[in-house]
Amino acid sequence: MSLKVLVIGSGPIMIGQAAEFDYSGTQGCLALKEEGCEVVLVNNNPATIMTDYDIADIVYSEPLTVESIAGVIERERPDALLAGLGGQTALNLAVELEKEGVLAKYNVELLGTSVHSIQQGEDRELFRSLMNELDQPVPESEVITTLEQAKAFASLVGYPIISRPAYTLGGRGGGIVHSEEELIELIPTGLKASPIHQVIVEKSIAGFKEIEYEIMRDKNGTCISVCNMENFDPVGVHTGDSIVVAPSQTLTDVEYQMLRTAAFTIVSALEVIGGCNVQLALDPSSQQYYVIEVNPRVSRSSALASKATGYPIAKIATKIALGYNLDELKNPLTQNTYASFEPALDYVVVKFPRWPFDKFSETDRALGTKMRATGEVMAIDRTLEGAFQKAIQSLDTKIPVIQEEWHHLKKPTDLRYFAILQLLHQGETLDSIHRVTKIDLFFLQVLKNLVDIEKQLAAQTLSEPLLKRAKTAGFPDQKIAEIHNVSEEEISEKREAYGIQRAFKIVDTCAAEFEAATNYVYSTFAGNNEIEPLKAARKALIIGSGPIRIGQGVEFDYSAVKAIQSLQQQGWTTIMVNNNPETVSTDYETADRLYFEPIQKEVISSIVHYENVDLVFTQFGGQTAINMAADLEDMGIPLAGVSTEVLDALEDRDKFYEALKGLDIPHVTGTTCHTKIEALEAAESYTFPLLCRPSYVIGGQGMMIIENKQELEHALNETDERHYPIVLDSFMEGMEAEVDLVADGHDIFLPEVMEHIEPGGVHSGDSLAVFPSRISPAIKDKITDYSRRISSHFHYKGIMNIQFLIDKGTVYVLEVNPRASRTVPIVSKVADVPMIDLAVKALIQDNPFPLGHLEMPSFEHVAVKYPVFSSYAMTEIDHKLGPNMKSTGEGMCLGRTVEEALRKVFSHLPHFYQDRNSCFIEMDDPDVDHSSDISFEDWLTLDESGLYVNDQKTEEARRRRIQAVKNGVFVISEWKTYKAYLQSLECEQVIPLPLPKKIDEGVRSL
């Protein structure tokens, strides 16, 4: 089969659509290539693995709009389109392309599930009538297109009711409505969020068990259920915001099969060809169930199901779309059974969401039908207690002290799980918690077991049975030591003496029924070890970056996966440790062995010792991985690259500024403060504004610009002790630039400088950035020179990111990140240099390596990187840009000119000059007349309102920006962003441009 297939990706990471589509897209593209297809990929998310040239044959980082995709189709003339792997974004595009006749015009066949079926599954009205036809119960509901209709429905069935806009992702624009006031606020937003201006209002069935099935169906009609999952949180909390357990725990076989049969009936009637997710609600006290919704595509849940079972849904779905039947495809884990079977688990899996509330402490933390989590973690164990605890450890976050526990139970928040534990600690009964939360008593009992063990650990001597029980329930040595008030070493010694050891088991899809040669491993204290250490000459362990969160996105999965590939090419055997089920790094086909585990020192050290690992890599897993370095070094574990002494010298402001001074490199003036008092004293010697930056944070968390002393006091009160010392820098608003470079201790390779459009004070992750930069050669030389001086001073090895501020011709060094950064994939792709590969070579030094003499890249096009904010999920937040990063993802467009790239970046925005009413601009711009004769409030109600610009810091400006976001209007809050938008309008014509691809030459062949 030599088809040319166009694959549409899901674009930038947004809440509701994250790295899971990089995983499914990568698997899908590889499956297509395995079948001899030529793959043309459109995805404007540069941080993904799928947009690399070893995954697809031609890659376009173009906007995901009908117009833009049509342009690519015209240019590439593919035979077929595969849209089921790119989430809701790609699915909606496929429907649009079909409707607008683009597919017919260019004779492009849509692979997999048909547009008719997609519409039947996604269009609420069509779906409901299909359910009626099939005799499948759905909650009483009505499709409405006006607020009045919603009011009428509410008065008929009574509050609360649920609002679900059609064709939206992650429940965008939806929610639970408890009163008419809430109805009036929510319904218009929902109508606006829906591309077809349609909302379904539904009687609430909150409190029912929420169950999902992941179904596969082939063209022959064979259906299998890969996995079912049960939400810990009953109906009422979006499944993306729910703690989820696989397989279901509290369903009898009769119930399990009843719901499975219902799912099959629906998927068969929809004639799905590929994967489909079916969500159902089950009454906890009868066999009454309701169908909630279906997603006729691979999804976040299917990524989870793939990792939970070992069954590669996206890969098999792609093959099915190409025409294979399930019984013709081998099960890749066993190699001797087929894809037409249902995995049997002999372990239990817990998924826990990762929310961004640690960054947005001011926001309402309530959870409902609108998803708010940016990412998730998964944990595997043979006890539910163990799986829960591993999941919590994987979150990589500090749980705040909870006051008013019941508040978090009555209206669920992200802290509900922890509030329940706290209440159980205080002796609250399971029944009273169950009455309020409707969480099944089975799950609550598991939490109580954890509390009971903790109490025993605090009160009793550490007998062998007690320690065994605690370890089986997932308590880390560190935690046991803390509860028992002894040192961690004492616990681990005691454990050793009792012979209580971590065992490793494999995920094999079949509960050991068949022999399986798998490299997919988890650890447990509930059972015996069953694996042998890998046989290898040299073993590398790569630490992953954990869950997707603001400031640490899929770009770190990119570096981890690239590092694995590079090491494998150099003849190393690789081991991956990570816990994010959405990612390519946790695909068992990526590394030679995958340990699906928390990034936690006890776990990592036991793996390192068991496997006898030669080198541990901490540079490629974001801040999460680098934060492990000190602990690992203390334990004598060999780390690739620089010592923690150097890391400390780069992270500690005093030492760092001292070093810069010695190197004669300008830096902004600043003081390191170890306590609140020190900070207040230090502030006396500066003039405000100041930039306040805490230590050891991700994405500028807690970083802020302080205008006066009151603000400083307030900020210091909010700062967690863990984030001291904090640094007070004098604040300068120059131009920011950054570089990513590879160093080998002597030389550096620095391909180009990236220039930020917004000024200093705006987090680099939230800035528009131009690459290669337009700054003068003289400044560039200075930047390169300073970078070289810093690298050689610290004898730095590996990859590094340096941020600069340029003000009146002076280049200041702002900070150094001694690891792969957010921009590495962009630099690698646009300059077409394998940065991670070079870094790995520099770190392992297997061969002499002339880093200083590599050919410098040339650029045919310019790229603009832009941030993407999931403002629809965080509508009560003011998205005014600042030092605290708020974007959840990033996109990138190429242009022949900066204007063309910007035009693509802003292609979703209205054209100010062509449709003045579409934009409301409150900016003092002498060059542009943007006076408006209607008020802001009236403008918001217009159908064409699409862009609001206001950069002021006043309370009123803040209120208006939030109001605009709530109405689904795009907001620009910086002068420079606004100017870039206007500049983009100068470009008249855009054409699709593929990412550059060198023919086998240059650096790679060395």
Partner 1 sequence: MQDGQTFRGEASPHFNDIQGEIVFFTGMTGYQEVLTDPSYKGQIVVFTYPLIGNYGVNDHDGESEEIQVSGVVMYQCADFPSHYQKTHSLGSYLDQNQVPYITGVDTREVTKAIRSKGTQQAALSQHSNYTFEHPEDKQIFGVKEDHITTYGEGDLHISLIDFGWKKSIVHALLNRNIRVSVIPFTEARVIHDLNPDAVILSNGPGDPKDTKDLLPEYKAILEQYPSLGICMGHQVIALAYGADTTKLDFGHRGANHPVKDVLTGNVFLTSQNHNYVVMEDSLEGTPLVKRFCNVNDGSVEGLIHESKLVMSAQFHPEAHPGPKDAEWLFDDFIKLVKSKGVKTHVS
Segment 282-301, which members bind partner 1 (CB under 8 A)?
A: 284-286
Q: Amino acid letter at 59?
A: V
Kindly state the number of chain residues that form the binding site for partner 1, as judged by CB under 8 A: 55
- Judged by CB under 8 A, the residue of 527, 533, 689, 857 near partner 1 is 527
**Residue whose pair of structure tokens reads 């049960």 in the numeric block:** 230
The Cβ of residue 807 has, within 10 Å, a number of other Cβ atoms equal to: 15
What character string, x for contact with partner 1 (CB under 8 A) and - otherwise, covers 985-1004?
Answer: --------------------
Binding segment toward partner 1, per CB under 8 A, in 250-258, 396-404, 455-463, 868-876: 250-258
Burial of 719 (0-12, 13-18, 19+ CB in 10 A): middle
Q: What is the Cα 444 distance to its own chain's centre?
A: 29
Token representation of residue 472: 């089986």
657 binds partner 1 (CB under 8 A): no
Judge contact between 258 and 280, C-beta under 8 A.
no
Residue whose CB is less far from partner 1, 150 or 227: 227
406 binds partner 1 (CB under 8 A): no
Q: State the minimum distance, in angstroms, from the CB of residue 227 to partner 1.
A: 10
Binding segment toward partner 1, per CB under 8 A, in 245-253, 420-428, 591-599, 914-922: 245-253
- Residue 749: HSE in the Cβ half-sphere, 13 Å Cα cutoff: 27
326 binds partner 1 (CB under 8 A): yes
Gap between the Cα atoms of 413 and 368, Å rounded: 9
**DSSP per-residue codes, 471-487:** HHTT--HHHHHHHHTS-
Q: What string of H, E and C letters represents the secondary structure of 368-406? A: CCCCCCCEEEEEEECCHHHHHHHHHHHCCCCCCCCCCHH
Segment 457-496, which members bind partner 1 (CB under 8 A)?
A: none
Segment 782-841, which members bind partner 1 (CB under 8 A)?
A: none
Token representation of residue 240: 């993306």
441 binds partner 1 (CB under 8 A): yes
Segment 344-373, which members bind partner 1 (CB under 8 A)?
A: 344-348
Gap between the Cα atoms of 430 and 440, Å rounded: 10
- Judged by CB under 8 A, the residue of 124, 164, 260, 904 near partner 1 is 260
Judge contact between 576 and 594, C-beta under 8 A.
yes
Residue whose CB is less far from partner 1, 3 or 526: 526
- Judged by CB under 8 A, the residue of 220, 643, 719, 792 near partner 1 is 220
What character string, x for contact with partner 1 (CB under 8 A) and - otherwise, covers 378-397?
Answer: ----xxx-------------
Q: State the minimum distance, in angstroms, from the CB of residue 438 to partner 1.
A: 12
> Which segments of 845-897 does DSSP mark as H helices, in order?
none
Edge-first strand order for the sheet with 970-972 is 919-922, 947-950, 970-972
Binding segment toward partner 1, per CB under 8 A, in 144-152, 509-517, 766-774, 931-939: 509-517
Token representation of residue 66: 């009908």
Q: Which residues contact 463 (CB under 8 A, 6 or more apart)?
A: none
Q: State the minimum distance, in angstroms, from the CB of residue 448 to partner 1.
A: 9
Q: State the minimum distance, in angstroms, from the CB of residue 504 to partner 1.
A: 12
- Judged by CB under 8 A, the residue of 145, 179, 432, 445 near partner 1 is 445
- Reference 320, options 330, 310, 329; nearest CA is 329
951 binds partner 1 (CB under 8 A): no
Q: State the minimum distance, in angstroms, from the CB of residue 27 to partner 1.
A: 22
523 binds partner 1 (CB under 8 A): no
- Judged by CB under 8 A, the residue of 440, 729, 766, 832 near partner 1 is 440
Residue whose CB is less far from partner 1, 268 or 568: 268
532 binds partner 1 (CB under 8 A): no
Binding segment toward partner 1, per CB under 8 A, in 42-50, 330-338, 488-496, 901-909: 330-338
Binding segment toward partner 1, per CB under 8 A, in 362-370, 436-444, 632-640, 760-768: 436-444
The Cβ of residue 363 has, within 10 Å, a number of other Cβ atoms equal to: 15
**Residue whose pair of structure tokens reads 């709530």 in the numeric block:** 966
Q: What string of H, E and C letters represents the secondary structure of 772-815? A: CCCCCHHHHHHHHHHHHHHHHHCCCEEEEEEEEEEECCEEEEEE
- Judged by CB under 8 A, the residue of 65, 119, 337, 983 near partner 1 is 337
Judge contact between 287 and 280, C-beta under 8 A.
no
Q: State the minimum distance, in angstroms, from the CB of residue 6 to partner 1.
A: 30
The Cβ of residue 66 has, within 10 Å, a number of other Cβ atoms equal to: 16
Residue whose CB is less far from partner 1, 440 or 582: 440
Q: State the minimum distance, in angstroms, from the CB of residue 225 to partner 1.
A: 8
723 binds partner 1 (CB under 8 A): no
- Residue 337: HSE in the Cβ half-sphere, 13 Å Cα cutoff: 18
- Judged by CB under 8 A, the residue of 109, 362, 496, 515 near partner 1 is 515
Q: Which residues contact 327 (CB under 8 A, 6 or more apart)?
A: 222, 338, 339, 340
- Residue 74: HSE in the Cβ half-sphere, 13 Å Cα cutoff: 11
Residue whose CB is less far from partner 1, 224 or 542: 224
34 binds partner 1 (CB under 8 A): no
Q: State the minimum distance, in angstroms, from the CB of residue 384 to partner 1.
A: 7
Segment 863-892, which members bind partner 1 (CB under 8 A)?
A: none
643 binds partner 1 (CB under 8 A): no
Q: State the minimum distance, in angstroms, from the CB of residue 343 to partner 1.
A: 7
DSSP 3-state of 721: helix
Q: What is the Cα 552 distance to its own chain's centre?
A: 8
Judge contact between 807 and 866, C-beta under 8 A.
no
Judge contact between 184 and 142, C-beta under 8 A.
no
271 binds partner 1 (CB under 8 A): no
Q: State the minimum distance, in angstroms, from the CB of residue 340 to partner 1.
A: 5
Q: State the minimum distance, in angstroms, from the CB of residue 342 to partner 1.
A: 4
338 binds partner 1 (CB under 8 A): yes
Exposure b/e, 882-919, CB count within 10 A at least 16 = b: bbbbbbbbbbbbbbeebbbbbbbbbbebbbbeeebbbb
Edge-first strand order for the sheet with 141-144 is 141-144, 199-203, 161-165, 175-177
Q: State the minimum distance, in angstroms, from the CB of residue 324 to partner 1.
A: 12
Q: Provide the terminal-to-terminal Cα distance of the chain, rounded to the nearest Å.
A: 35
442 binds partner 1 (CB under 8 A): yes
- Judged by CB under 8 A, the residue of 288, 336, 487, 669 near partner 1 is 336
701 binds partner 1 (CB under 8 A): no
257 binds partner 1 (CB under 8 A): yes
Binding site for partner 1 (CB under 8 A): 220-225, 247-254, 256-257, 260-261, 264, 284-286, 325-327, 336-338, 340-348, 382-384, 440-442, 445, 505, 510-515, 526-528, 530
